[in-house]
Structure 1
Amino acid sequence: MRSHITLFALAGALTVSLAGCSTTPADPPATGGAAEDGHGAVAGAAEVAEPQLGLTSITPDGTVSHLDLLDESVTDIGEIPPATGMTTDGRYLFAQTDTGVEIVDSGVWTWDHVDHFHYYRAEPALLGSVPGEGAATIATTNLSTTGGTGLSFADSGDAVLLDTEALSKGEISELFRIEREPHSGLVVPVGSFALVSEASDGVGTTVVGYTAEGEATGLEEACVDPAGTITTRVGAVIGCEDGALLAHVDDDELQVERIPYPAGTTAPPARSFDNREGRPTVAGLAGSEGIWLLDTRERAWTLLPSPAPLAHVTAVDDEDGHLLALARDGRVLVMDDENGAVLAETAPLVADSLAAGVIPTLIADQHRAYLSAPTERRLHEIDYADGARIARSFETATEPAFVAETGR
């Protein structure tokens, strides 16, 4: 799932040239997209020759705007209620509010067609809201014009699957809404299916397979205290107390594999995952004890030692095996994903943000890393392959806001 959320405020003339597509992957998309899906085209959208990269922002009072990173133009999209959190799939922004989730369409996206990519631009828009009670956990795929988007509301227990194709046409359509026992759970889209967590006494215990029409498939897997989900090229990952589930579709059937943690491990389970978008290896913190790496191709976990107290990790999964970590003292560490050795590090770039209780967002791209510095009002571009060199830094003019990298 895409969750590249950058917490900083945009200056009107801020300019960033982000890296484009990743290298050609070996695996087909795990979420069900193919040529027959129209290559990601939508009526009214223009196909263009390069990624339409941008930063779509939501200020604390709900003002939504989009900065085009190609020509530096800024578009005012509109206003939504004040947001308390946000998730993105690289096109849509799903903003948590007091009454549910507001959806913003940035109007720019990339379609992954395995051996090449298609790039699109359309008019940005505020699509409306999905009502729900309590904190919403949102799960997306790597495709923004097909499949589903899952929302799980903690207080009401509602499990909602949205039609992502309808979103691409400007419509909010619920494929299903299932009432469950309230809990902090998940609704994870997998092709034309979804895995929905179920709870007992307020704690998730299992995930159950559903069709897009809300019919149970008969698939049920134990997953105690589910937390953290991400979609790789191999499948959708769901974190559980004893390991992870890897879900994919084979021959039009929903399949789930269990990847347990190594025998004898005492390290805490990963509660979230991050990586360079779509890559098969994902990373998550093992509490304060280390770093979990999950290779979804090999179905294998690796536990690396933490070189320092960490706030966040993300797997680059490139040929050189880079792993990026944000230390609690504000440094970005470039690590070796085989042995955990620190290869390079920055100065403490976001110490003030972390001291204020704000966790900056660290994004891994094919060639660069991007680090938000909310309290410092800066955005840093880091060349992690060149000794963690600060390639560029940009000042921002206002207080921190939720910002998503869109168009990829």
Structure 2
Amino acid sequence: MSDSKALPTIERKDAVRFRVISLALTGALALGLAGCAAPADTPAESADSNADSTGDGHGAIAGAAEVAEPQLGLTWIDPAGMVTHLDLLDESTSEIGTIDAPAAMTTDGRYLFADTGAGVEIVDSGVWTWDHVDHFHYYRAKPLLLGGVEGDGTATVATTNSSTNGGTGISFADSGDAVLLSTEALSKGEIREQFRLEREPHDGLVVPVGSFALVTEPVDGVGATLAGYTDGGEPTGLEEPCAAPAGTITTRVGAVIGCADGALLAHVDDGELVVERIPYPADAPAGAVSSFDNREGRPTIAGLASPTDIRLLDTRARTWTLLTAPTPLVHVTAVDDEDEHLLALTEDGRMLVLSAADGSLLAQTEPLVAASLAAGAAPVLIADQHRAYLSAPVEKQLFEIDYADGARLARTFDTTTEPAFVAETGR
């Protein structure tokens, strides 16, 4: 069974500048495909969680072309709200449009959810991969600005690994509103709220899990428990304590939510919402992970509890690994490949390749994003199967790094706008 989405073979060049041409749509609608039964031996990673709710369309939607390879790109929003897409196959760029100025952005690999402080603006990059567990389908359509979801205060967005079914959760801090969007509706160009629940204001979460969602409930303005709801907003009766919930990510195994004492792992088993508690080891230092990252969908995730305290969670084994970083870090992400690579960004702007077994340094780049870090313009570090991508907002550059080849700088893209909020799309 393939464990990741294949990367197309493309020419690699050092320090190549991209040219500006229009983004072209390719092909016509694909014929229906057969023989896509999922393996029977994956109970905790059920194919049902990735199944397309629209039937046997394999992630296809009207107006989209199925293509033979993933349409990988980097899509970014500048501080003023201009949305730009770089096609990593032919190095062309195109402007998608302009939204309100964002303060933060979250992505599922297709959509960009931009927090503007007065709601969430949604951008469809027009490229995505549909995961059928043992194989993949690749699509391309016209990129679109889909519009916005109203809300007050900072918005925390939680996504799944599917861009054509399931839900997308949004929690608004100032109003307390908990919103679940239909991702299937997004794939058809429509913003549809599955539910909107009123809560006391707090920095909370709405985490989609199959046809359910976990919603934080506060005590004295701080998240204290997670309550289960159907995707129609009906309570399931499930409640799970989680002190100071922060950080969520979806793997093949399920959705992870960070808590002060460890993490919760949520998945659907025989049609029921199930939540498991995975506490930190007894010898873990004080502190907790508030943000997780990994190569999309892989079962192992990584986060920082302090600048040198790396914590890896294997969601299959339900176990933590504690590592000490060789130098202070600002971000870490798990590649979760056969070589157990771990990627990290240092406080002085270098990307490190570390061993996920013992935290030892395997390779590193020069300080590529020092100016951005010094200016408080946070770079984005993204890992996929073969490459890492690192954004440099102040330097106005995007770097492609071959982390398995001594952290070799494979390509450098100069940008005309500041890549403040960057997503790898098409994966």
- Shared fold by TM > 0.5? yes
One-letter amino acid matched to 1:380: F
What CA distance in whole angstroms lies between the structure 2 residues aligned with 1:69 and 1:79? Answer: 22
Asked if residue 33 in structure 1 is aligned to residue 39 in structure 2, the reply is no
- CA contact under 8 A between 2:86 and 2:93: conserved in structure 1? yes
In structure 2, what is the equivalent of residue 271 of structure 1?
A: 290
Query: Structure 1 residues 73, 289: closer, same or farther in 2, change over 3 A?
Result: closer
Q: Does 1:217 align with 2:236?
A: yes
Query: Are 2:157 and 1:138 aligned?
Result: yes
Aligned-partner Cα distance in 1 for 2:420–2:307: 28
Residue correspondences, number: 390
Q: CA deviation at 1:266?
A: 2.6
Shift in Å at residue 32 of structure 1?
1.4
Residue of structure 2 in register with 1:19 after alignment: none
Equivalent of 1:86 in 91, 105, 122? 105
State the identity %.
73
Task: Give 5+ residue unaligned stretches, structure 2.
Answer: 1-16, 22-37
TM-score, scaled to structure 1: 0.91
* Helix, strand or coil at the partner of 2:184: helix
Q: Which residue of 2 aligns with 1:159?
A: 178
The alpha-carbon deviation at position 322 of structure 1 amounts to 0.6
Among candidates 257, 262, 265, match of residue 276 of structure 2? 257
Instruction: Give CA-to-partner distance per residue, 1:112-161, whole Å, 9 cap, x none.
Output: 11111001111211111100001000000000000000000011000000
Q: Which residue of 2 aligns with 1:317?
A: 336
CA RMSD of aligned residues (A): 1.9
- How far, CA to CA, are the matches of 2:134 and 2:263 in structure 1? 29
Cα deviation, residue 37, structure 1 = 5.5
From the superposition, tell whether residues 332 and 66 of structure 1 become closer, same or farther in structure 2 (CA, over 3 Å): closer
Read off the aligned partner of 2:127 and give its amino acid letter.
Answer: V
Q: Contact (CA 8 Å) 2:300, 2:334: kept in 1 or not?
A: yes
**Aligned position for 2:25:** none
* TM superposition shift of 1:46: 1.3
Q: CA separation in 2, counterparts of 1:54 and 1:289?
A: 31
8 Å Cα contact 2:251-2:297 kept in structure 1:
yes
After superposing on structure 2, the runs of 4+ consecutive aligned residues of structure 1 that deviate more than 6 Å are none
Can you give the 5+ residue segments of structure 1 that lack an aligned partner in the other structure?
1-10, 16-23
> Which residue number in structure 2 is paired with residue 65 of structure 1?
84
What's the counterpart of residue 13 of structure 2? none
Aligned to 1:368: 387
Counterpart residue number, 2:350: 331
**Whole-Å Cα distance in 1 between the matches of residues 217 and 353 of structure 2?**
38
Q: In structure 1, what is the Cα distance between the partners aligned to 2:48 and 2:206?
A: 14
Q: 1:333 is aligned with what amino acid?
A: L
**Offset of residue 12 of structure 1:** 6.3
Deviations 1:8-62 (A, max 9, x none): xxx86279xxxxxxxx999546771226453111122111111112222322222
Q: 1:227: which partner in 2?
A: 246
What is the DSSP-based 3-state SS (H/G/I as helix, E as strand, rest coil) of the residue aligned with 2:185?
A: helix
Q: Secondary structure at the match of 2:344?
A: strand
Secondary structure of 2:19's counterpart equals coil
CA distance in 2, matches of 1:238, 1:379: 30
Aligned counterpart in structure 2 of residue 199 of structure 1, from 211, 218, 223: 218
Tell me what 1:378 maps to.
Answer: 397
Question: 2: distance between equivalents of 1:203 and 1:305?
Answer: 30
Amino acid at match of 1:331: R
TM-score of the pair, normalised by structure 2:
0.87
1:126 partnered with 2:145: yes
**Among candidates 10, 13, 17, match of residue 19 of structure 2:** 13
**2 CA distance for matches of 1:106 and 1:29?**
27
Give the letter for the 1:232 counterpart.
Answer: T
